[in-house]
Structure 1
Amino acid sequence: MTDPVAQDFWAELRATTQARIGLGRTGDALPTQRVLEFRSAHAAARDAVHQPLDAQALAEQVEAVGLGRPVVVTSKASDRSEYLRRPDLGRTPADLSGVPAGNAEVGFVLADGLSPRALTDHGVSLLSALVDEFGGTYSLAPPVIATQARVALGDHIAQALGVQTLVLLIGERPGLSVADSVGVYLTHLPRPGRTDADRNCVSNIHPPEGLGYELAARVVAGLVSGARKLGRSGVELKDTSRADALAAPSEILEL
Structure 2
Amino acid sequence: MPTAIIPATPSLEYLRRFTAARVALGRAGAGLPTKAHLQFTLDHARARDAVWSAVDMAALEAAVRDRGLAAARVRSRAGDRATYVRRPDLGRELAPDDLAGLRALGTAKIAVIIADGLSAAAVEANALAVIDALRSSLAIDAVVLAEQGRVAIGDPIGSALGADLVIVLIGERPGLSAADSLGCYITYKPRPGTPDSRRNCVSNIRRGGLEIADAAYKIAWLAREALQRELTGIELKEESGAALEAETRALLIDEP
TM-score by length of 1: 0.87
Is 1:106 the equivalent of 2:121? Answer: no
* 1:48 and 1:116 in contact (8 A); partners too: yes
* 1:141 and 1:163 in contact (8 A); partners too: no
Match of 2:196 in 1: 196
Match of 1:3 in 2: none
Question: How far apart, CA to CA, are the structure 2 residues paired with 1:153 and 1:245?
Answer: 32
1:219-234, aligned counterparts within 5 Å? 219-234=218-233
Structure 1: 5+ residue stretches without partners: 1-7, 247-255
The one-letter code matched in structure 2 to 1:224 is: A
CA 1:169–1:244: 2 relative to 1, 3 Å: closer
Match of 2:168 in 1: 168
* 1:102 and 1:141 in contact (8 A); partners too: no
Match of 2:234 in 1: 235
SS of the residue 2:204 aligns to: strand
SS of the residue 1:114 aligns to: coil
Structure 2: 5+ residue stretches without partners: 1-9, 246-256
Match of 2:6 in 1: none
1:172-183, aligned counterparts within 5 Å? 172-183=172-183
Q: How many Å apart are 1:63 and its aligned residue? A: 1.8
Aligned length: 234
Question: How far apart, CA to CA, are the structure 2 residues paired with 1:204 and 1:53?
Answer: 19
1:1-255, aligned counterparts within 5 Å? 9-68=11-70, 70-94=71-95, 95-99=98-102, 100-134=104-138, 138=139, 140-207=140-207, 209-243=208-242
Seq. identity, %: 45
Question: How far apart, CA to CA, are the structure 2 residues paired with 1:124 and 1:66?
Answer: 13
SS of the residue 2:15 aligns to: helix
Match of 2:5 in 1: none
Q: How many Å apart are 1:243 and its aligned residue? A: 4.1
SS of the residue 2:74 aligns to: strand
Question: How far apart, CA to CA, are the structure 2 residues paired with 1:172 and 1:96?
Answer: 26
Q: How big is each residue's C-alpha offset from its partner over 1:80-102, in whole Å with a ceiling of 9 and x where there is no partner? A: 00000111110111122101353
Q: How many Å apart are 1:52 and its aligned residue? A: 1.0
* 2:108 and 2:142 in contact (8 A); partners too: no
Q: How many Å apart are 1:12 and its aligned residue? A: 2.0
The one-letter code matched in structure 1 to 2:78 is: A
Task: Please give the root-mean-square deviation of Cα atoms over the aligned residues, in Å.
Answer: 1.9
Q: How big is each residue's C-alpha offset from its partner over 1:59-92, in whole Å with a ceiling of 9 and x where there is no partner? A: 1122223213x21100010100000011111011
* 2:110 and 2:142 in contact (8 A); partners too: no
Match of 1:249 in 2: none
Match of 2:248 in 1: none
Question: How far apart, CA to CA, are the structure 1 residues paired with 2:185 and 2:243?
Answer: 24
Q: How many Å apart are 1:104 and its aligned residue? A: 2.8
Question: How far apart, CA to CA, are the structure 2 residues paired with 1:213 and 1:133?
Answer: 14
Question: How far apart, CA to CA, are the structure 2 residues paired with 1:245 and 1:13?
Answer: 30
Match of 1:4 in 2: none
Question: How far apart, CA to CA, are the structure 1 residues paired with 2:196 and 2:62?
Answer: 31
TM-score by length of 2: 0.87
Question: How far apart, CA to CA, are the structure 2 residues paired with 1:67 and 1:19?
Answer: 39
* 2:50 and 2:179 in contact (8 A); partners too: yes
The one-letter code matched in structure 2 to 1:104 is: A
Question: How far apart, CA to CA, are the structure 1 residues paired with 2:130 and 2:222?
Answer: 16
